[in-house]
Amino acid sequence: MTTPLITEEELQRQLAEPSSRRVAFSLVVRLYSKQIYWQIRRMVYSHEDADDLVQNTFIKAWEAIEGFRGEAKVSTWLYRIATYEALNFLKKRRSEEEHRISPSEEADAAYLLSRLHADEYFDADEVEERFQKAILTLPAKQQLVFRLRYYDEMPYEQMSKLTGTSEGALKASYHHAHRKILELLDAEE
């Protein structure tokens, strides 16, 4: 995460104050847009979808700003909103697919990989593609935990606040995900 130009406490104070809320929120958008984009992008694999979901995340955050009580960091609050936006998007897409074909995890993975390849910004090599395929074999919760820990280096304590899961369960989930990914990558060599 980017080190803010303002302390967390000051940012939360300004967000709580109606007279400074708009300026503080624009700072929140500037500080966290990139991290939120990449969190979502790793889940949906499409630049256009990620851009739309980032906008939705900040719209929902703005609409809910009066209810933000500062019980979690601003970044944790935004990650939670972004995660739910991405998961709801994937659920909706999966529901749309169910009406056309018989749903399966393989179909979901194939769809997401096709989105990745269709994305003009995707320039990864074969190793990255194999890595992404391995991540997609994990259950949804393990995918989320793995991405937050591996890519964002999110501490388990913050992940716990984000997901509502105990730190011990998150550590176990990450360990199992990591092991499965290594096994899959080793098997392909």
Domain ranges of the chain: 1-101, 124-189
pLDDT at res. 101: 47
pLDDT at res. 78: 94
| 1 or 18, greater pLDDT | 18
- Could you tell me the two tokens for 50? 């990620």
- The amino acid at 15: L
Q: Is the pLDDT confidence value at 171 over 60?
A: yes
The mean pLDDT of 128-140, rounded to a whole number, is 84
User: pLDDT band at residue 123, thresholds of 50, 70 and 90?
Assistant: low
Q: Is the pLDDT confidence value at 164 over 80?
A: yes
Q: Which fold, 124-189? A: Arc Repressor Mutant, subunit A (1.10.10)
* Calpha distance 149→168 (Å, rounded): 14
- Could you tell me the two tokens for 34? 């990139």
Mention every residue, 6+ apart, whose C-beta is less than 8 A from residue 112: 44, 45, 136
Mention every residue, 6+ apart, whose C-beta is less than 8 A from residue 99: none
The mean pLDDT value of the chain amounts to 84
Helix (H) or strand (E) holding 76: helix 74-98
User: pLDDT band at residue 129, thresholds of 50, 70 and 90?
Assistant: confident
* Calpha distance 45→27 (Å, rounded): 27
CATH class of 1-101: mainly alpha
Chain centre to alpha carbon of residue 177 = 16
Least confident of 109-113, 159-163, 174-178: 109-113
